[in-house]
Structure 1
Amino acid sequence: MKNVTTLFLKIAVIFLGVPVLALCIFLVPEMANLSAKLLPEFAVIKYIVFIVFDASAIPFYFALYQAFELLRYIDKNKAFSDLSVKALKNIKYCAITISILHVLVLPLFYIFAEVDDAPGVIFVGLVVPFASMVISVFAAVLQKLLKEAIDIKSENDLTV
């Protein structure tokens, strides 16, 4: 049963990467072109959009890889190990990085909201930083709990 569950989660992790890849290939260039069209006085804005959104895909895929590794540790009965703690720490840092990159782009969402007269655009820009900070906090809590469980396990192993 455990292998079926981790297999399902591994497939889910793989499928999480597909839409982000599609967004990076199809939507980011369109967003960059739209930003250059809406704000012709800022010629560099097109490249900022490319860099920030495509650069945020790098920690996203690294976090997915760490999640996949964490599931492999569970399959190998190494869930309560320092490797799992390290994977959770890496996921936490990746989520923080994604959040910071998207917070840097929030002024662009404000400018688009002013040009388009659509204040809801700002809330759309807050979705990714908020979601990645929630993931970061969740990973930090899991990391702390796992570390405490490992410490308790090592104390019990020493007690005979």
Structure 2
Amino acid sequence: MASMTLNLVRDPYGKLVLTDADGEQHVGVSPVRAFPIQAPEEGISLMKSDGKEVAWIDHLDEVPEPARSLLREELEGREFMPEIARVKSISSFATPCTWYVDTDRGETEFVLKGEEDIRRIGAASLLIADNHGIQFLIRDMFNVDKQTKKILDRFL
């Protein structure tokens, strides 16, 4: 994969600064994923605060260090989406109900208000919104343990 030149630094205030090919500096750019679930490493736009795109990255691996690390750091700080590894139990099969889950960030529980808060994303992924609007991801609903499959089947 060919490497692209990307002059990206963090200023003393913590904002990302992109210097484009013409030498113009764009202070406070934000990376935005085009496909955050299906292809999180592909299609990343650098946007100014007014919503104007100033750079496009086909694939994050094309960006040399340290810019790649800055982008990953910024994306992680903006996108909080715990990934559910296992649904341990639920309080009820009727909604609202409390889900007790293991995520990539540890154990937690959340309240599912209604079945409509479980959305299919692509062929195998699910997004589950809790009562506070936090999105939980199940990357592959077909590749989970038996208990989790049984619970998901009741809601889908």
Q: TM above 0.5, one fold? A: no
In proportion to residue count, which structure has more strand? 2
Higher relative contact order (CA 8 A, sep 6+): 1
